[in-house]
Structure formats: structure tokens, C-alpha cells
Amino acid sequence: MKKIGIMTTGGDCSGLNTAIQRIIRGATLRKWAVYGILDGTDGLCTTPPAAIKLNDLMLPIENARLAGSFLHNGHANALNFETAIERGKTTAFNRKLHKSLTELKLDALILIGGNGSISLAWKNREIYRDLQLICIPKTIDMDIPLTDKTIGFDTAVQQLTSYCDQLMLTARSHHRWFVVQAMGRDCGNLALNAGVAIGASAILIPEIKFDVNALVEHIKKQQTDYGIIIASEGISLRGHSGKPADMISRKLTAAGIVNRTAFPEHTQRAGDTTAADRILATRFADCALQAIENNETNVMTVLTDNEAHTVSLSEFVNAGKIVHDPKIPDLMTSNAYVNPDDPLLEVAHDMGIYIGELK
């Protein structure tokens, strides 16, 4: 009988619990033992390792739709890859992780994480050398290469869309504009998709250069005196500092355009998991379990052309744009961004949305 582990790492999002529940269900049908590692790598730093045996009753299917992680994602000040570097304890930390995994006697580990977590898994693959490592991509940023979708993205788009829908009503009542700052780090996928969904008047994303004066003129020419401008958190404005939404707001105010800023923040990472994300989580869970059956290791589940399959972690790393992680100095992460040929860019432009200086 196989013994597998599940671990969620990095930021949380909707869909994690669906993936966990589906893995438990699929593994149970295979008569495998399933253990959940609590608090990500934090749980592997305790003695004994913080792992619990999982069954269908522990995470009922009706609760699998909820946001966050049933297994938790770690404590703010605990020893992890980031703090281990800061404290000069990287070698001891890595050794402890390997020792804990050895003590758990796992045949395989399913790690559900974002591009930082998966890049770390590949960089530190020696930690997982004695078991099969299967990664499942989750992130509201949709910045992971080689996969058309990541768990949590669809729900985040819905959350941001619903948030802006409500703002639009008060914007109309008060004849004002709202500058809404979207999450996404350096990737504009979340802002772009939600912006098109709500019919925003402007969408500003890191991948497309924009002229703030052109933005101001665009808003002045609108037939209405209210609306939504979505600014991705990764944009910058030369000569200005502060939160992107605040920077844009100040420019609008200086031009005599009445506006307010709004920050949905972590509500974008919450919300009941949408049907699309539940289906994706189920497909990735099934794909991961099949990968274990096929004796695969150091792989990641992906969805391309509506087919769920696995790719090697080395392929994942080489396929993306390699950049320095802002929190872990010696980590290079593999990133994906809004493609210049993304049809939504042309759709936004055709719908009269200011999207920046498109070529």
C-alpha cells in the first residue's frame, strides 16, 4: 500500500481544499494512505513532523468549496526557505526537511504551490530525492508557464469582478471614478480578465506600457462621468512612488477628474471556489495520482489544449522568464506573463478600453 503526503505552500487561494479533498478521495479508492503536512514546510520543521492521517470524513465534500487551505500554508515568522536564508540556516533547514520526510516514510508527496514554491522544489530537489514529487500549480496570478490555467485564478477573477460590480453602482450614484488596485504581482492576467468582465474604462497592466496623460484624456472623453479603472499592483509610474492606484488617482485628481481608490486586497484570494476551479482542481488531483501510479517524479500537472498532463520541473523552469525572487535573494523563479498576442488585449481595445500603448 502506497503512503502519500499532501502539502500546500505559498499564498492561499480558492480551490486548495477542492484539490485536497479530491486527492484524498482518489487515493482512498486506490487503498493508499494519505497524510497531510500541516503549515507547509513549517510542519516539517517540528519534531515529530506535523502530519495527520487524512480520510473522507476530515474534509467533507461540502467544505471542499471553501477558500483557504484545510492544511494551512505556514506561519509568518516560522523557519522556511525565506527565513532560513535570512538567518543563515539554509543547510540545516534543508537537512531537517529531508529528515522529516524520511521519518514520515512517504512514497510520494503532492506539493500544491505557486511558481515560487515550485521553483524552490526544483532548486532543492535533493530534499525530495527519496520519494516521488508531484507538483500542482495554484495561484491567482496565473503566472506559471506551460499551463493554460492555475487553481484559484478563475475564482479570483470572479471575486474581483463582483467587487467592481458593486463599486460601479456607487460610482454612478456619486458621478465619480474608482481606481481599483488588483493583485497579480508582476503579471496582469487577473486585472486584464476582470477588467474585460466588468467593462472597465481602462486596464493598466505591467506588460503593456501606458501614458498617464493619454489615460487622462481617455477618461475625459468618456460619455459617462463614472466608471472603473483597474490598475495591476505591478505597474509603475516614472517619477512617482506609492501604491499604483494612489499614483493614478493623484494624476486624475490633478486633471479635475473626481475619483476614489479601492483596494480589494485579500478578498481576491477568498470566496467560494467557482465551478471552473473545482473542475480544474479535480483534474489536477486525478492527474497527480496517475503520475504517482506511473512512477513519475519531479513533475508538475498542467492543462494545455484542455488536456491535463504532466511536464518535468526542469521543463517548467526553462520555459518561463527567469527572474530573481523578491523575498528569497538566491532564488530564481520561472514566470509567465500576459502574452502580447493575448486575444483579450485586442478585445479590450476594440471595446474602447484604454489598455495602454499597444503596438
Catalytic residues: 141
Q: Rounded distance, CA 200 to CA 116, Å? A: 30
Cell, residue 31:
487503498
Contact (CB, 8 A) for 143 and 113: no
Contact (CB, 8 A) for 205 and 255: no
Residue 322 CB contacts under 8 Å (≥ 6 apart), including other chains: 332, 333, 334, 335
Q: Rounded distance, CA 212 to CA 59, Å? A: 49
Q: Rounded distance, CA 230 to CA 171, Å? A: 14
Q: Rounded distance, CA 96 to CA 91, Å? A: 9
Kindly list the distances between the CA atom of residue 215 and the CA atoms of 209, 211, 262, 346, in Å, as whole numbers in the listed order. 11, 6, 18, 17
Burial 66-91 (b: 16+ CB within 10 A, else e): bbebbbbbbeeeebbbbebbeeeeee
> Residue with C-alpha cell 486624475?
252
Q: Which of 310, 303, 8, 299 is nearest to 133 (CA)?
A: 299
